[in-house]
Structure 1
Amino acid sequence: MSTPNERVAVVTGAARGIGAAVARRLAQDGFAVAVLDLDEAACKPVVTEIEQSGGRALAVGVDVADEQAVQSGVERVAEQLGAPTVLVNNAGVTRDNLLFKMSALDWDAVMNVHLRGSFLMTRAAQRYMTEARWGRIVNISSVSALGSRGQVNYSAAKAGLQGFTKTLAIELGKFGVTANAIAPGFIETEMTVATAARLGIEFEDFKKAVVSTIPVNRGGTPADIAHAASFFAGEAAGYVSGQILYVAGGPHG
């Protein structure tokens, strides 16, 4: 269980990429971290890294779109690490295609993970936050929320997360719980590599073309998102709620 001064954070989609970077950063910040992903075994390297650095972590395999699995997973976190008071909803998938080619299954797959998953995880975790009278919810949106060709499902889901975030801020604020969203721009992850492949472009060429449009003249890294998550999860962000922070190397929104 957690020590009196140790808070517990849950990060979904944390086996790799942005989620793994956020989990590592929150561990550095002093949180015990539940590393959640679809495949529990895939979470183990992140957990091991945190433990070797002196932190406490737990690997939990959860399909965030499965109501019972979410409930069981969050209860397991509470029992083995302590009551979670920070939740980072990062789990996501893409099923890109132009609208006329997109199947209903591709639409549902993206909605289920991003929106249903964030709803189920937040509903399960919020009771621990409201009981503690302190909590932090961080949802990972995207600049794609502003529109992205070939991503009507992903764009709709990421825009939906922004409305979800603002409503959570309104409903949970009186319990000392804040809710904010981070909207990453171009971040170098397996997902952006897959996007380049879908477009039939070499990743380095894809990256060069995208970076040429970014004011700070570089691509983002998972650590860039982790820095923002660290702020939102911390004590100092207690008067910041219902906000969408674009971490994209330039102005958006």
Structure 2
Amino acid sequence: MVENVSKTYVTKTDRITALDDVSFSIEPGELVSLVGASGCGKSTLLRIIAGLSRASEGSVSVAGTTVTKPNPGSVAVVFQEDALLPWYTIEENVGLGLLARGDRRADIRRAVAMAMDQVGLGQFARAYPRELSGGMRQRAALARGLVMEPEVMLLDEPFAALDEQTRNLMGQELRALHSRIGGTMIMVTHSLTEAVLLSDRVVALSSRPGRVRTVLPIDLPALRPVELIDEPEFGVLRNELWQQLEGDWRRSERS
């Protein structure tokens, strides 16, 4: 639950309010997207939920516990860049969090193998990051989060660096993975199409300071092929988000 969260940055010459009184709740097992113009505080909010930044006001709780610091066992983060260590194999990269936590090596091997199978990378366990495509490296980053078995998975524009075809494929795989294993996911994206196609609900933030403009339920079938974007009901939902955010995007482009 995000409750009355505000975030202000203080510099030597200015005070910048990135978020202002943001509140919304997420049900266990939901996949929720955060959308809004550049600079509206989407990634800032994600960092607060992850415990990587402190709110100036308000609070965030996960499974009833207030977030005050990073807790990889409860909240895992997948960033836009895969951040894999090039000198480690994929299986070693995926298991780093468990190793740092002090898990037994036999348990780490089993958990890593399961997570890599979940994202379709089982046969690439001994490969190095340089040997994989961008999409496959991002799958490894997902596996690195999944292996921690978190209450919440946070995804900060995880597919933004990929080409359109790979991005569509990864989005479909994320939706299928979420349907298969459950769990709660919160994803930041600039793409309204991606948000509608993948999410159960979409939280739209205003331009800075970020405030909740709307929380839009996505009433579409659980299985959503890419072709769904051509259907009228999909267009209605995407257009509703666009109408909420068009002015913010136009101001962002001019600034």
**TM-score normalised by the shorter chain: which range applies?**
0.3 to 0.5
The TM-score normalised by the length of structure 1 is: 0.35
| Higher relative contact order structure (alpha carbons within 8 Å, sequence separation ≥ 6) | 2
- Higher helix proportion (structure 1 or 2): 1
- Higher strand proportion (structure 1 or 2): 2
